[in-house]
């Protein structure tokens, strides 16, 4: 309650990740970590570009000169690096990505603030 850290979730996730890491060869873990990082960087390039187009009036704390060129280069380089990882790393990473998406959407559907708006008790 003091720090707002979800302790129970961290313990469960940390235990699960440590068990998977204990039985997975370090080279595969390194490749999967690289894939995940490159994928995240690709999503950031796409998201920054989309936000600059869809919400140009937002206050920005930094400027990106020639954003379309930099975003396309970032996306292309990251995809190139992901393609050049081992096929095992690509398949394992993509399968974990699918699992993550399934968990995200199955949890989000029930817990979404948009799907479950708060009840306004002031009108009662």
Q: What is the pTM of this model?
A: 0.68
Please give the pLDDT value at position 123. Answer: 57
Residue 120 lies in a domain: no
Angle at 33 between CA 96 and CA 71, to 5 degrees: 95
Q: What is the DSSP letter of 56?
A: T
Q: How many CB atoms lie within 10 A of CB 41?
A: 16
Number of domains in the chain: 1
Please give the pLDDT value at position 111. Answer: 76
CA 104/CA 96 separation, integer angstroms = 12
Residue 53 lies in a domain: yes
Residue 116 lies in a domain: no
Per the structure, the complete domain to which residue 88 belongs is given by 26-106
Residue 75 lies in a domain: yes
Stretches where the chain sits below pLDDT 70 are 120-124
Q: How many CB atoms lie within 10 A of CB 92?
A: 17
User: Of 27, 50, 36, which Cα lies nearest the Cα of 78?
Assistant: 36
Residue 5 lies in a domain: no
């Amino acid at each position: 309650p003091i720090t707002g850290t979800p302790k129970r979730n961290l313990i469960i996730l940390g235990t699960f990740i440590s068990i998977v890491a204990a039985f997975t060869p370090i080279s595969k873990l390194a490749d999967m970590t690289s894939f995940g990082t490159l994928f995240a960087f690709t999503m950031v390039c796409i998201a920054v570009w989309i936000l600059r187009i869809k919400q140009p009036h937002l206050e920005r704390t930094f400027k990106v000169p020639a954003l379309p060129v930099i975003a396309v280069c970032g996306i292309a380089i990251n995809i190139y690096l992901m393609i050049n990882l081992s096929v095992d790393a690509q398949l394992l990473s993509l399968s974990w990505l699918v699992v993550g998406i399934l968990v995200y959407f199955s949890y989000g559907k029930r817990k979404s603030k948009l799907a479950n708006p708060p009840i306004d008790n002031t009108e009662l």
